[in-house]
Structure 1
Amino acid sequence: MTPGSRPLKHVKVPTRGAHGAALSPDRESAVDILHGRQVTDPYRWLESAGTTATRHWLAERDREFDREAEHWPLRRGLSERIQDLVRTDLWSAPRHRPGRLFTTVRRAGDEHPRVVAMAPDATGGLQVVFDPVEQDPSGRTTLDSWEPDPTGRLIAVQTSSGGVERGELRVLCARTGAQVGPSVRGLRYSHVAWLPDRESSPAFYYVRRDDQHGTRGVWLRRVACGTETLVHACTAPGTVPGVRVLGGRRLLVTESHGTGHRTDLWIADLHGARPEHPRLHPVQVGVEAETEARLGPDGLLYLRTTLGAPLRRVCAADPDEPGVEHWREVVPEDPGATLDAFATCPGPALLVVRTRLGISEARVHDTATGRPLRTLALPGEGMVTAPETAPDGTVFLGYADVAVQQRVLELAPGAREPRVWPPHTDTGAPVPEVRRSVVWCRSADGTEVPVTVFDPPRAGTAPGPTILHAYGGFGRPRQFGFSATVLAWLLSGGRYAVAHVRGGGDAGRSWHLRGARRNKPRAVEDLVAAAGTLVEQGLCTRSQLCLSGGSAGGLLVLAAAMSRPRVCGSVIASAPLADMVRFERLGLGRMWTREFGTVTDPEDLTALLSYSPYHRALARGRSHSSTALPRVLLTGFDGDTRTDAAHPRKMCAALLGAGSGLDRPPALLRYERDVGHGPRAVSRAVALAADAHAFAAHETGLLPR
């Protein structure tokens, strides 16, 4: 039962829907009273994935999807094109240890990346340190994270299986692959921070994000025996702990407060201290600001923060006096771009990465004056990610754009133009010509919202099949890295657009908050306005427009389609949130109340019900107004521990129930087993992407060239 509710009564629901498909077993509908409001939930039984009734219902959805998908003209062509685009070597930025480099590489044709070691100059052969396919030939096991110890003799490896994102942390010998000491099970993406100078008795800090296996917080673990000590406990509900060791000496402990813009930070000097009981000093505690810290080569603590700067700035502090009252601004806020990442450089200097409407800019700044010293010459208009500084001052960063596959760039000290790493990487493939432009739309409250549009090569001026993507959640900006799926769509002749709606982070913290919690309907209005603008400007007709979003973006596109059914002809919602009355009880929803609100608050409930796609679909079914709804493809993953596959199951049932009497089902569900919300084998990712965009092609009229 939903928090703050009580059962009212039970009523019978229909057992058959359109096309003879079983929508519900002969069961009673759940009806709750929430703050005096009656809320009906006829498909709550679908929240139980393992029951016979749910399995039979899913089998019918599988047959329904297969019958339709085999007739989509572009299904095979898109699959082959996406496979060609991902058939390349992918490297991660190297991590330097004495006498060796560690990195990951996914060779062309491989299903998963593997951890490898090489010589410091990236020459010679590769030694495979860990291969998830060797551990699990079925391909169901993914490499979630890895971290070599300071000596390079040991490596901590985290894996999970079946998509559940709750896996195993093991320590391996980096030379032989043999496991050292007992493993830790049931972890979700734990940070691992090795203690320095512990060759004879290696130990590391790691985090427990939930209470399933002990107190949430930071723990010290000794490798050989597996004994553990709690170093820092999370006491506030909904916080996520983090840990790093900076400069081989300073312990940094963080707590992120759910999905809000607040981070608490503490720092301790490990030199001469007992690692089980470090003296943690507050850097920022109880302040409504999101802050990230690094240690510079000059010994100062550098902090990227929203404190006093919604689009973020960089400050500096003495790690022995780290409190906010001692911070000094180094790089000020830019009013037109978000400061998304930074790395320390020799000089001392800072490499600062900003994003302006999805496109990255990278500059090196003087730490004394803050003024820019030089602007990096990037390969194109794309996305820079994860800058990290090597011991010799070289900065490694990721780069990708809409037409260029992800690659690692190496910036030598003092250089203006980074080079591709490893040096032997082949980048000679021709780059397709894709034109980018920005149009602006006016939302319902008058706010101007930007929309980025990518035109396919040799595009004309006539309206054409178009996918409009949006996310609009958790303050995350839309950045234009590489997507083989998007590029395959463009090369097939389709147009692709991205709406930078409120709720995302495209214009900083205030842009996020203006589309969060009770303001979430504004994000829906922004997307509706963006769709209308594309049609008005002649880029597509409404029947040629497909809305697309995943997770929180799936919620957004479904909400737009349910509230304004004539906004588009079709919708792709991948692993979406849909039932916004029950979201707190499914997956990680309890962590997201700062983003969406809570049904325990009557005003939040009113806002949630105003756009909840599941409840709007139920209402349309009751009013028999479903004929105007766009066609919907939902994807769901049985191992999804984030949004929970109950959302797409229930949403599909509600749409099918609303579509009785139509010639074809108004919604299709593509449902996968043994995968989850996160990474998967390449072949499965390609098949999913090809099916989703073949659906869009079929619905928008995009035909094979």
Structure 2
Amino acid sequence: MSSRLPGETARPGTADGDGAVVEVLHGRRVADPFRWLEDPDSPATAAWLAERDREFAAAARSWPLRVRLAEDIRALVRADLWSPPERRGDTVFATLRAAGAEHPRLLARTPDGQRTVFDPAAFDPSGRTTLDAWEPSPDGRLVAVQTSRDGTERGALRVLDARTGLPVEEPLHGLRYTHVAWLPGPGAPAFYYVRRDGHGGRRGVWLHRVHGPGPHVDVLVHACAAPRTVPGVRLRHGRWLLITESHGTGHRNDVWIADLAGRSAERPPLLPVHVGLEAESEADVGPDGTLYLRTTLDAPRRRLCATTPAAPSPSNWREVLPEDPETTLDGFAVTGRAGSAAGVRVLAVRTRLGISELTAHDPRDGRVLQRLPLPGEGMATRLEPSADGGAHLCYADVATQQVVLVLRPGGTSLVPWPESGAAVPPDPGGLPAQSPGTAPAPAPGGVRPAAGIARRVLWCRSADGTRVPVTVLSPAGPGGRPGPTILHGYGGFGRPRQFGFSATVLAWLRAGGRYAVAHVRGGGDAGREWHLRGARRAKIRAVQDLLAAADQLVAAGVCGRDQLCLSGGSAGGLLVLAAAALRPDVGAAVIASAPLADMVRFERLGLGAMWTREFGTVADPGDFAALLSYSPYHLALAAADRPRPAVLLTGFHGDTRTDAAHPRKMCAALLAAGPGQRPVLLRYERGVGHGPRAVTRAIDLAADAHAFAAAETGLSPRR
């Protein structure tokens, strides 16, 4: 297998005397002794994995908190979990994962009652099929559902009769999280959808007309001009077509709009909103006919602008909500009806170190009309306008399972949905109660801390002097002595760390542990600049930030070195593995779930080719040097005889994002150190991937990971 990328000064890999592959990349010899583990189905890989399975099973049996954590997590997630409702005519669609169920099912609620439209457990009794997305037609008679199997996140799009749940045509195959935008009006039902993995070699937006049995003949209405872009599509108010192209994961996109009124759906008259700019915008058209854009253009923490759809270029934008230097603008919704008594309002969700704030504004000048209190210190997500002129969102905090909250048209407060049978926050039993007659002190924005949980923010200084915040969660009450602590980090793709519900974190806190989150560069906790300062050749800064956070936890008396476990998944798995490789004394243990690890080969594994804006490319000499400097796999190979923390890696055979070759190869490199080192374990699962899975499998994974952390940091049962 050749390892060459366009522009590489490298020769194809050859084997040295012991069979290891060695390549010369930009004048440097790079050994890859475990390249053979990239083949997931070879007999050699299967035998190697069988041995890792035996090692993991033997170790897990000795962890004293394993059963207790699984029981607590199972109890904490045992609640009805609804998605936000989507109304079409007199039918309301939503998913419900009932208490104790393995998967959510899609329901249709009418004045006459409630019925199941699609149940993945009934569709596939093995439990290996997930419902990834769904979208009802404007009249509510049809619904498009997307499913995938074994965690691959590549699956089928099916059009179902919403009354019977039966398919009305053959499914569309080979799709990954496609967007679906139904066209309104009479005639044959039709929708736009996107293909991200190519169709006949092309990525883009397609028009599909539902026509019953027979082959599909879809029309390409917008082709992606550049490779490695991700198309998106949305149709607002049955008239305004919005198309986007995201360029890899670099937080840059292009946006177009078309007015379909009286125009051909096959040839929409697309106007560029912005194309070729170093900016990312989320566009929507309000009920007032105005085009609104939440954008990073001239605003790293995002601002909200407005313009007319007829002249949408940035030169015509007016600013509605300016950038806030202390918070990031994470979502917006334009609600109401033009000309109605309630008028049109802009709702905005801003986030301050993982905690959301919700406000209502006048769309003309951005004036604050109201501050809408949320139930506590948590996160508001999926803010969307409702068909009736109101809005809905999801809310969760560390001790509160996700609930759906609705703002009625012109309303001044959020109310739970559904009105009866809504999810009840789990009882955080086992956490210290507040003193009689007292209440938690209000936090900034007027919200209150999660019951029984103390939250504080520490600050550390990274290697270059940058101040980095670290949020620490602990059972409320006296601080006491240092105790077992999990430090979580992500630091990738501009994604902020937010504090929603985590049964795993809550169970860990109930057992007496502390949980910390390092808001490192590379993430989106402080906007676009914070992301870019920890991306590509500067990715090492994210690692340095995490190490500084670990040092601060020890210095502040939160934990001792032997009580600290680093934890991260995906890009966060890369972060914690690199930190431990560069500073083996950083803590007692590391949990790396579905991590990136071989940063010389990442572009050839999973979706790595899409991530060069985040990490760089081996084809570039400067990028290559930076990648090799923190690549956990290569650092482990170079320091096989050095002491290191205990390590738990998790890998998922169906992972099409980071690819399970990363944890396989990383485990082999760490094991090459030989006997006498702290344990290295690989928890490897078949039939699942990077994304959603059955509840039982998710519980088992979380319990195993945190039981490992407990065993290595000395957390023992309190009751």
CA contact (8 A) 2:486 2:566 kept: yes
Report if aligned partners of 1:186, 1:213 keep a CA contact under 8 Å in 2: no
Q: Which residue of 2 aligns with 1:21?
A: none
Match of 1:283 among 268, 273, 276: 273
Q: Is the contact between residue 182 and residue 224 of structure 1 (CA under 8 Å) also seen in structure 2?
A: no
CA separation in 2, counterparts of 1:426 and 1:234? Answer: 42
1:12 Cα deviation from its structure 2 partner? 3.8
Partner SS, residue 93 of structure 1: coil
Matches within 5 A, 1:392-411: 392-411=388-407
Does structure 1 residue 640 correspond to structure 2 residue 628?
A: no
- How far 1:272 moved relative to its partner? 0.9
The correspondence of residues 532-681 of structure 1 with structure 2, limited to 5 A, is: 532-621=551-640, 624-625=641-642, 628-658=643-673, 660-662=674-676, 666-681=679-694
Change (3 A) 1:600 1:214: closer
1:52 aligned to 43, 64, 67, which one? 43
Find the counterpart in structure 2 of residue 309 from structure 1: 299
Q: Could you say if the C-alpha distance between residues 428 and 654 of structure 1 is closer, same or farther in structure 2, counting changes exceeding 3 Å?
A: closer
| 1:693 matched to 2:706 | yes
Distance (Å, rounded) in 2 between the aligned partners of 1:397 and 1:644: 33
What does 1:347-496 correspond to in 2, within 5 Å? 347-424=343-420, 425-427=422-424, 429-431=426-428, 432-458=451-477, 460-496=479-515
**Which of 184, 189, 197 lines up with 1:202 in the alignment?**
189
2:119 to 105, 125, 131: 131
- Shift of the 685–519 alpha-carbon distance from structure 1 to 2, 3 Å rule, reads same
DSSP 3-state at the match of 1:534: helix
Rounded to whole Å, the distance in 2 between the matches of 1:643 and 1:427 is: 35
Letter of the 2:636 partner, please give it. Answer: A
C-alpha contact (below 8 Å) 2:102/2:695 kept by paired residues? yes
Deviation beyond 3 Å, 4+ runs, structure 1: 428-432, 457-460
Gaps in structure 2 of 5+ consecutive residues: 337-342, 429-450
1:524–1:112: structure 2 CA closer, same or farther, 3 Å change rule?
same
TM-score by length of structure 2 reads: 0.93
Deviation of 1:417 (Å):
2.2
Instruction: Letter of the 1:679 partner, please give it.
Output: P
TM-fit CA distance, 1:663: 6.1
| Pairwise CA RMSD | 1.2
Alpha-carbon distance in 2 for matches of 1:573, 1:380: 30
Name the stretch that deviates more: 213-222 or 350-359.
Answer: 213-222
Q: Does the 8 Å contact 1:349/1:365 carry over to 2?
A: yes
Query: CA offsets per residue over residues 380-403 of structure 1, 9 Å max, x none?
Result: 000000111112212110000001
One-letter code of the match for 1:279?
P
> Does the residue aligned with 2:16 lie in a helix, a strand or coil?
strand
Distance in 1, matches of 2:32 and 2:631, equals 12
Q: Say yes or no: does 1:500 pair with 2:497.
A: no
SS at match of 1:414: coil
Equivalent residue for 2:179, pick from 181, 191, 197: 191
**Bigger shift: 452-461 or 635-644?**
452-461
Aligned counterparts of 1:636 and 1:9: Cα–Cα separation in 2: 28
CA shift digits 1:219-253 (9 cap, x unpaired)? 00111153200000012011100001011101111
Aligned length: 681
Alpha-carbon deviation of 1:182?
Answer: 1.8
Give the letter aligned to residue 66 of structure 1: A
Offset, 1:429: 4.8
Identity rate of aligned residues, in percent? 65
Once the two structures are overlaid, the 10-residue window that deviates more, 73-82 or 457-466, is 457-466
Please give the secondary structure, in 1, of the residue aligned with 2:708. Answer: helix
Return the letter of the residue paired with 2:547: V
CA distance in 1, matches of 2:607, 2:287: 39
The offset of 1:647, in angstroms, is 0.1
Name the CA distance, whole Å, in 2 between partners of 1:428 and 1:188: 33
Structure 1 residues 182 and 214, CA, compared in 2 at 3 Å: closer, same or farther?
A: farther
Alpha-carbon shift at residue 143 of structure 1 (Å): 0.3
Kept after mapping to 2: 8 A contact 1:88/1:107:
yes
Determine if the alignment matches structure 1 residue 254 to structure 2 residue 273: no
Report if aligned partners of 2:120, 2:130 keep a CA contact under 8 Å in 1: yes
Match of 1:10 in 2: 15
Give CA-to-partner distance per residue, 1:284-326, whole Å, 9 cap, x none. Answer: 1111110011111111011100011100000011111111111
Q: 1:531 aligns with which of 550, 558, 566?
A: 550
2:497 aligned partner, one-letter code: R
3-state DSSP class of the match of 1:256?
strand
For 1:274, the equivalent position in structure 2 comes to: 264
**Secondary structure in structure 2 of the residue aligned to 1:216:** strand
Matches within 5 A, 1:29-68: 29-68=20-59
Q: Specify the SS of the correspondent of 1:440.
A: strand
Provide the secondary structure at the position in 2 that maps to 1:503. coil
**CA distance in structure 2 between the aligned counterparts of 1:458 and 1:61, rounded to whole angstroms:** 42
Partner amino acid, structure 2, of 1:62: D
More deviation, 251-260/211-220 = 211-220
**CA distance in 2: counterparts of 1:663 and 1:505, whole angstroms:** 36
Alignment correspondent of 1:117:
108
Q: Which segment is superposed worse, 68-77 or 315-324?
A: 315-324
Offset of 1:211 from its aligned partner? 2.2
The change in CA–CA distance for 1:159 and 1:8 in structure 2 (over 3 A counts) is closer
For 1:477 and 1:7, locate their aligned partners in 2 and report how far apart those are by CA, in whole Å.
39
Note the C-alpha offset of 1:213. Answer: 4.9
Counterpart among 200, 205, 221 of residue 218 in structure 1 = 205
Is the contact between residue 457 and residue 472 of structure 2 (CA under 8 Å) also seen in structure 1?
A: yes
State the alpha-carbon separation in 1 of the partners of residues 184 and 161 from structure 2: 17
What CA distance in whole angstroms lies between the structure 1 residues aligned with 2:644 and 2:198? 43
Query: Residues 478, 426 of structure 1: CA spacing in aligned structure 2 closer, same or farther, 3 A cutoff?
Result: closer
Aligned partners of 2:457, 2:264: CA distance in 1, in Å? 56
In the TM superposition, what is the alpha-carbon distance from 1:212 to its structure 2 partner?
5.3
Residues in 1 aligned to 2:272 and 2:323: alpha-carbon distance in whole angstroms: 24
In 2, the alpha carbon distance for the partners of 1:100 and 1:12 equals: 69
8 A Cα contact 2:82 2:423, kept in partner: no
1:685 counterpart letter in structure 2: A
TM-score with structure 1 setting the length: 0.95
Aligned pairs for 1:35-184 (under 5 A) are: 35-119=26-110, 125-184=113-172
Cα separation, partners in 2 of 1:606 and 1:361, compared to 1, 3 Å: same
* Superposed displacement of residue 414, structure 1: 3.0
Query: d(CA) in 2 for partners of 1:501 and 1:390?
Result: 35
Measured after TM superposition, the shift of residue 371 of structure 1 is 1.2
Distance 1:381 1:668 in 2: 36
2:339 maps to which residue? none
Provide the rounded CA distance (Å) in 2 between the counterparts of 1:148 and 1:590.
Answer: 33
Distance of 2:79 and 2:658 partners within structure 1? 31
Cα distance 1:307–1:663, how it changes in 2: closer, same or farther (>3 A)? closer
Kept in 2: contact 1:377–1:416 (CA 8 A): no
* Aligned equivalent of 1:325: 315
Distance, in Å, in 1 between the alignment partners of 2:114 and 2:645 is: 51
Task: Look up the SS of the partner of 2:629 in the other structure.
Answer: helix
Residue identity matched to 2:627: L
Q: Spell out, residue by residue over 1:64-109, the C-alpha distance to the aligned partner (whole angstroms, 9 max, x if none).
A: 0000000100000000000000100000100010111000000000
Select the residue among 204, 219, 228 that pairs with 2:218. 228
What SS does the corresponding residue of 1:562 show, helix, strand or coil? helix
Distance in 2 (alpha carbons) for counterparts of 1:390 and 1:363: 17
Aligned partner letter, 1:91: W
